[in-house]
Structures are given as structure tokens and as C-alpha cells.
Amino acid sequence: MKTWLHRQTFKPDITVAVFFGVVAIFFYGSILWTFYMSLTRSTLMPNYAVVGLDQYVKLFTNYRWLVSCLNMVIFGVLFIVGTLGFGTILAIFADRRIQAESLFRTIFLYPLAVSLIVTGLSWRWVLDPVNGLQGLMRNAGWENFTFDWLTNPDRAIYTLVIASIWHSSGLVMVIVLAGLRGVDNDLWKAIRMEGIPLWRAYLQVIFPGMRPVIASCVVLLMSEVIRGYDLVIAMTKGGPGIATEMPAKFAVDFYFARVNLGLASAASIVMLMLSLLMLLPYFYSEFRKRT
Amino acid sequence: MNLRRFTSTISVLGLLAASNAAIAQTVDVQHYWTSSSESKAMNAVADAFKSKGGKWIDSPSADFDAALAAATSRIAGGEPPSAILMTPNSALRDLAGSGQLRDFDDLAAEGGWQKVMSPLVWSKLNVNDHLVALPVGIHAQNWVWYSKPLLEELKIEQPKTFDELFAAADKIKASGRIGIATGGEPWQEVGILFSSILALGGPDYWNELIVKRSPEALKSPILPQAFDIFRKVSTYADPASPGRSWNDTTNLVVTGKAGFQFMGDWARGEFLAAGKVAGKDFGCFLTPSDKPSYSILIDVFAFPVNKDEDRIKGQTLLAQSVMDPAVEEQIAEVKGSVPSRTDVDTSKLDVCAQLGAKTLATPGAAVQAAYDALAGDLNGQVTDLATQFWTDKSMTTEAAVESFSKILQSE
């Protein structure tokens, strides 16, 4: 057995070929199949007769889909900006050599270890107008205290933003902190010698040099936005009404509950296009740097 | 252990297992009956099945959609469940149309099942003249439930019209409780809209509007009135309503924290599971209407085509257990439904179930609920519209009626 193992030389080409084969079939193959399905009128089971772009027309005249896309943009922008801002501030604080740094780092990173379902449920309980924060404040004697965003159709989307910022800023904090730790000490010495105020040093010297770190954070957070499903399910189920519907939830609902494979596939393909579109600036800047 | 002895033990065990499987009649049941009353009903079926010598594999999902999703992927993956709990909707027609379901024409002819079912029920169970689904019980959507002690305390009579209902709800609200409890989930909201349409229009209008989708019915003044009532009900929703499940909402009525609830008669099962007695602790009536109407939702088992002999036998045994009048009666007793067989003795059921059975037997009163009647995802689109109208108070009735008409005429 042992000698047999030794006789085998490691063949990287074969290993890699297998890996690429698996990716090609299960990843790109699935995408192609989904695209095919989006051109058909499949309902519960696949129907292989191609009817053209009907499903896409239907999709973009569907009010719920449009609301979902708009929600994704609102949620995405606020979530990415908020998480980046909050995470960076935490990282800066942690970088100032505070006491018990590792304790705080663990505390702030902890939410990331909690699944989005648990995050959503806990925030749902906290924000519940009757049993949560509002009820607590009112019972404590503050009769007019109102915080009913979760059940207010115009505000519910912001509760999702709050919960997801809480969930993800720890991640941004560690990544940015690692970047900050990588900054050359000479640079800091120069800054001190020049007497530049700290905020300007961060804003104009340190962060511009950390562009790749920030870019990785943005890409990571964007994938969260597009996948945004479990948090919505746990917190609002897309409600009140259709106020917090998201494209991913639209696709899942139409695959299963509405048994409309064709329309759901069209939605998935559009989501893929949207993700590529969002990543375009990133690819563009990366590509320009290389050439 | 000696390797050879080990392998021989394994193969003997394997043989034993194989021979055992050859005798057993196995069913793998994909269902979503998980609330307390629902699981009692499922146990009634399972116990009857097991007492006849079958082996029951329970595959529960959290809700209806998840159960159907799981069943569909299992069928597509070549490992179909032996039975799926569902309703006779477009998904059933799709499954049957693509040849995925076993039919029970032979058993039905043998047992004379057609004679003991109402024609509407029978027509829903058949796709292309083959019996592809077996009824577990018949629910109806257009019920209203109320807390009897609460109404007695405030000296309110059981309402007979929508005006009386709203007056009563106002009185309850003034006493610091919830007038009409609703769970703010889209399917619960659209149920209230459909109940209002049926109550105002009666069965004939319902069939014109929902089943035939005739353009004249869409122009009727009944439709805007129904939307107005729907809007009026929404004003009684409490702040915690959004996202609340139906059984949590029923529990508010059970405990006297709320007066009324618009909900199908599966709510009765929750009252019973809480140890309440119909006519004493809680009351029921059909949504106020001068024409008796009953919009039925049938719980059915569909049986995907299976290849293993023991599984096919298991399906046959399960079919016989489900159609057993004694089992049907037991389910109706715990679940809140009405037996689907007309020859089941209903005298032992409570006043609410008897009202249901009586209305179901009234000629012309039973109509199919929108969930089953509307083709494709029309029901889904109406649900989206209803929940939008429910939450967005700035949406006008005219705009809602217009969208409603557009949806119904889109296919």
C-alpha cells in the first residue's frame, strides 16, 4: 500500500482538470440550464419548448420584481456604505493600541459567527413594536416612545440595513485592521514629523494606500447584498406587504411557491447580470492597473 | 474481527433487510401538518395505516410551499416520496399532466368513491378523467371566528351583517382589545379579500369572476365594495400584526385578547387543541352574506409514481386508510375540516363542523376557493396585489380594482 502510494507521482494537471471539470458542469452548466429554462414556459416541471423572451417581458412588467430591485439598490448602498464606515471606525479605534484590544475584537467579530437567520430573528424580537424595544420603553414609563420601523412599510427596509450592518461590520473591521497593521512604520513617523492631524493622515495618506483592501471588502459585501435572502425571511418575510421584497426571494418564491420555473429562471439570470454589472467597476480598475 | 466473518455478517444482515423490505408496505409521506391540531390529524392517518401493517416514514416540512418544493425536487431527482399532502391546484394539474402521479381509478371503481363525494369535490380530484388525488378533508375559507366570553362580556350578539361586525369590532376595540385580529402575511390577507367578494356576490358571482373570469363580472360594483370592506378590516390590525402566523393570531382569539378573526376552518383545530368547546368558548359564522356560500379547499394526498413493489403496495394501503370513513371522521374531529365523504356520520361533530357540513350539502353553495380555481400564478399575483393594498393605505380602490382586472385577464 505504502509503496504503491510512493510510486504515484503527483500529477497537478489531472487534479486541476478534474476541478475545472466539476466547476464547468455544476456551475456554468447550471447557469446555462437556467438560461435555457428562462426562455421556456416551464411551470412546475421543465418544459423544453423555447418561446423566446416572454418571461423577461413578464418580469419587467411585474410590480413586485421592480420593487424588489429598487429595494436591493436602497439596501445595498446603505448597507455597504454603513458597514464600511462603521467597520473602518472600529478598526481605527482598535489600531490606536487600546486596552484589551483582542477582547473588543472578539466582541465585534462575534456577530459574524451568528447565522443570518438567528440575526434576523433576534433583531425581529428586539424591534417588535409590542414585545421589543418599544414595549420595553413604554413599560418603563416613556409612554410616547415609538420605534415601529419593522412594521412600517416605508421604514422596514432600514431595519434590515441595521441588522446587517451589525452582522458584517466586524468582518470589515478585521480586514481593515489587518491593512492598517501593514502600513509602514516609517510612514507614521513621517506623518508625525510633518505634524499632520490624525483625521487627515487617515483620509489622505493611509486609506488611499489601502485601496485593494477596501475593494475586497466592497466585493465581499456586495455578494451579501445579492444573496440577501435568509435575513429577509427571518426578519420580515418580505413584508409588510411587499415593502422588503428582494430579488433572491422573488426567484425562490417563484421557483417553488408559485411553481413558475420559467419566470424564476429569468429572474435568476437578471440577478446574475446585475451582479456582473455591479462588479464591473472593480474589474475595470483591476484591469487598468495591470496593463 | 476476522474480515471474512465480518463481510458475511454484513451480507446476512443485508439479506435480512432486503427480505424484510419485500414484505413491508412502506409509505414516505411528504407533508406540512406541523401545528398541534394538524399533527393530530396526520397521526390519525398514520395510526390507521400502521394498524393495517404498513411502515410509515414521516417527511415533514415547515410549510406548504416547502413541502411542495421538497417533493418536486425529489421527483425530479428520481427519489419520489410515496405521497404528498397538497391541494388540488395548478401544481397538481402540472404533476398529473406530466405523468408523475399514480391514478386510483381501479380502487375508486371498486370502492364506489364517486358516489360518496360531492360532484365539485370529485371534479377537483380528477385530472384528464383520472383520479389522481384522494381527499383527506374539506376546509372552507370564508369563516369568521370569535371569542364567546368576550362578546358576552360586552353584550354583543353574533353579527349577521358586515355593519354589525364592524360595530362589534369597534366596541371591542374601545374596551382595549383587538377588534379583528389578522396575521399580516400575504396569504392571510388575500383570504379576507376573497371572503369579502364571496360574501357580497354569492356563489354565482364567484363562479363568473374567479372560475370563468368573465369581463362583465369584473365591471360589477360588487368588486369595489369588497375591496372597501377589505380595507376596513385592515384598519383593525394591531401593531404586532405584520408577519404573525395564522395560529398565533388564532391564539389571540382563543385567549380573549382579540374579538374576531377571518380565517379558514383550520382555525377550529387550534381552538380544539387549546381545549375550547365550540358554541361555549368560541363561536363561528360564515362571512355575512344573504346567499349561503362555502369556498372549499380540499386537503389531498397525491401519489407520485413509485417503482419499488413495497412502496406501490404501501400507496395502495395508504389510499385505503385515507378513504376509510372512520379515519375521515377522526380527522374532521381534530383538524377542523369537514369529511370529504358524504356518508360519514357528522352527528358527533361540533356545531361549527355541522354548520360547515350543512352548508357544503346545500345545493349550489360550495365553490372552489381561489387558491385552487385560479390558473398558474394568477392567485399569486392577486395575493401580491392584496397585500400591497392592505399595507399601502394611499392606494385607491379604483386602482386596486383596475390591477385586479388586469391580472385576471392576463392569461
Which residue among A239, A242, A254 sits closest to B243, beta carbon to beta carbon?
Answer: A239
Residue-wise pLDDT tens digits, B314-361: 999 999 999 998 898 888 888 888 888 888 877 878 889 889 988 988
B264: closest CA of chain A, how far (Å): 20
Residues of A in contact with B68 (CB under 8 A): 256-257, 259
Residues of A in contact with B240 (CB under 8 A): 128-131, 151
Q: Which residue of B has its CA nearest to A259?
A: B91
B86: closest CA of chain A, how far (Å): 12
B20: closest CA of chain A, how far (Å): 35
User: What one-character DSSP code corresponds to residue A53?
Assistant: S
CATH superfamily of A61-290: MetI-like (1.10.3720.10)
* Residue-range definition of the domain harbouring residue B268: 143-295+365-408
Strand, helix or coil at B258?
strand
* Distances A34 to A30, A247, A272 between C-alpha atoms, Å: 6, 16, 11
C-alpha cell at A103: 477582547
Which residue among A148, A257, A260 sits closest to B239, beta carbon to beta carbon?
Answer: A148
Please report the sign of the dihedral spanned by the C-alpha atoms of residue B183, residue B186, residue B191, residue B196.
positive
Average pLDDT over residues B159-184: 94
Q: Under an 8 A CB cutoff, do A257 and B384 touch? A: no
Q: Which residue of A has its CA nearest to B99?
A: A45
Q: Which residue of B has its CA nearest to A132?
A: B240
Closest among B298, B331, B270 to B118, alpha carbons compared: B298
Q: Under an 8 A CB cutoff, do B76 and A45 touch? A: yes
Q: Which residue of A has its CA nearest to B410?
A: A58
User: What one-character DSSP code corresponds to residue B271?
Assistant: H
Most confident of the following: B15-24, B114-123, B279-288: B279-288
Cα A189 vs. chain centroid, distance in angstroms? Answer: 37
Q: Which residue of A has its CA nearest to B184?
A: A240
What residues 144-183 of chain B have any CB closer than 8 A to a CB of chain A? none
- Evaluate whether B201 touches B222 at the Cβ level (below 8 Å): yes
Closest among B363, B327, B322, B359 to B345, alpha carbons compared: B327
Please report the sign of the dihedral spanned by the C-alpha atoms of residue A213, residue A217, residue A220, residue A222.
negative
pLDDT attached to residue A6: 66
C-alpha cell at A194: 510633518
Res. B1: pLDDT tops 80 = no
Res. B145: pLDDT tops 50 = yes
* Distances A33 to A29, A266, A269 between C-alpha atoms, Å: 6, 11, 10
Put simply, whether B118 touches A (Cβ < 8 Å) is no
Domain match, B347 and B374 both: no
Kindly list the domain boundaries of chain A, sorted by start residue: 61-290
Which residue among B185, B238, B377 sits closest to A237, beta carbon to beta carbon?
Answer: B185
Domain contains B158: yes
Pairing of strands B25-31, B83-86: parallel
Q: Under an 8 A CB cutoff, do A128 and B98 touch? A: no
Residues of A in contact with B76 (CB under 8 A): 45
Q: How far apart are alpha carbons B124 and B87 in whole angstroms?
A: 9
Domain match, B329 and B181 both: no
Helix (H) or strand (E) holding A167: helix A156-181
Please report the sign of the dihedral spanned by the C-alpha atoms of residue A12, residue A15, residue A21, residue A23.
negative
Res. B13: pLDDT tops 50 = no
Residue B176 burial by CB count (10 A; 0-12/13-18/19+): exposed, middle or buried? Answer: exposed
Categorize the per-residue pLDDT at B15 as very low, low, confident or very high, splitting at 50, 70 and 90.
very low
- Evaluate whether B295 touches B368 at the Cβ level (below 8 Å): yes
Which residue among B65, B91, B242 sits closest to A239, beta carbon to beta carbon?
Answer: B242
Put simply, whether B391 touches A (Cβ < 8 Å) is yes
CATH number at residue B65: 3.40.190.10
Q: Under an 8 A CB cutoff, do A239 and B185 touch? A: yes
Res. B6: pLDDT tops 80 = no
pLDDT attached to residue B19: 42
Q: Under an 8 A CB cutoff, do A239 and B392 touch? A: no
Please report, in angstroms and rounded to a whole number, the separation of the first and last CA atoms in chain B.
69
Domain match, B319 and B224 both: no
- Evaluate whether B186 touches B384 at the Cβ level (below 8 Å): yes
Please report the sign of the dihedral spanned by the C-alpha atoms of residue B143, residue B148, residue B152, residue B154.
negative
Whether the link from the prior residue into A240 is cis, omega within 30° of 0, is: yes
Place of cell 458597514: A83
In total, the C-beta contacts within 8 angstroms joining chain A to chain B are: 88
Domain match, B190 and B282 both: yes
pLDDT attached to residue B376: 67
Pairing of strands B83-86, B294-302: antiparallel
- Evaluate whether A90 touches A169 at the Cβ level (below 8 Å): yes
pLDDT attached to residue A184: 83
Closest among B91, B86, B46, B43 to B67, alpha carbons compared: B86
Inter-axis angle of helices B397-408 and B222-234, nearest 10 = 120
Q: Under an 8 A CB cutoff, do B239 and A150 touch? A: no
Q: Which of B388, B409, B410 to substitute to test the interface with A, most A CBs within 10 Å?
A: B388
Phi-psi region of A177 (alpha: psi -120 to 50; beta: other; left: phi over 0): alpha
C-alpha cell at B56: 410509515
Res. B384: pLDDT tops 80 = yes
C-alpha cell at B52: 393495517
| pLDDT tens for the 291 residues of chain A, in order | 566 666 666 677 888 888 889 988 998 999 999 999 999 988 877 888 888 898 999 899 888 999 999 999 999 999 999 999 999 999 988 888 778 888 888 888 888 888 889 999 999 889 888 888 888 888 888 888 888 888 888 889 999 999 999 999 999 999 999 998 888 888 888 888 888 888 888 888 888 888 888 888 988 898 888 878 889 988 888 878 888 999 999 998 888 778 788 999 999 999 999 888 887 877 777 777 665
Domain contains B13: no
Question: In sequence order, what are the beta bridge partners of B25?
Answer: B54
Domain match, B291 and B152 both: yes
Q: How many CB atoms lie within 10 A of CB A115?
A: 13
B223: closest CA of chain A, how far (Å): 21
Question: Mean pLDDT in chain B?
Answer: 88
Q: How far apart are alpha carbons B175 and B324 in whole angstroms?
A: 48
Phi-psi region of B275 (alpha: psi -120 to 50; beta: other; left: phi over 0): left
Residues of B in contact with A243 (CB under 8 A): 391
The A-side interface with B (CB below 8 A) comprises 43-45, 63-64, 124, 128-131, 148, 150-151, 153, 236-237, 239-243, 253-260, 263
Length of chain B: 411
B371: closest CA of chain A, how far (Å): 11
Q: How far apart are alpha carbons B311 and A180 in whole angstroms?
A: 63
Closest among A165, A181, A166, A168 to A91, alpha carbons compared: A181
Q: Under an 8 A CB cutoff, do A260 and B377 touch? A: yes
Domain contains B19: no
Cα A281 vs. chain centroid, distance in angstroms? Answer: 17
The domain total for chain B is 2
Strand, helix or coil at B308?
coil
Q: Under an 8 A CB cutoff, do A45 and B98 touch? A: yes
Q: How many CB atoms lie within 10 A of CB A184?
A: 9
Residue-wise pLDDT tens digits, B57-83: 999 988 888 888 889 889 888 899 999
- Evaluate whether B350 touches B277 at the Cβ level (below 8 Å): yes
Domain match, B245 and B210 both: yes
Which residue among A243, A260, A263 sits closest to B391, beta carbon to beta carbon?
Answer: A243
B159: closest CA of chain A, how far (Å): 29
Residues of B in contact with A45 (CB under 8 A): 72, 76, 94-95, 98, 100
Q: How far apart are alpha carbons B219 and A34 in whole angstroms?
A: 40
Residues contacting B328, CB < 8 A, separation 6+: B136, B137, B322, B339, B340, B341, B344
Domain match, B376 and B247 both: yes
A158: closest CA of chain B, how far (Å): 16
Domain match, B111 and B165 both: no
Average pLDDT over residues B26-39: 89
Domain match, B61 and B148 both: no
Q: How far apart are alpha carbons A116 and A124 in whole angstroms?
A: 12
A18: closest CA of chain B, how far (Å): 24
Domain contains B1: no
pLDDT attached to residue B21: 43
Q: Under an 8 A CB cutoff, do B72 and A240 touch? A: no
A241: closest CA of chain B, how far (Å): 5
Q: Under an 8 A CB cutoff, do A45 and B186 touch? A: no
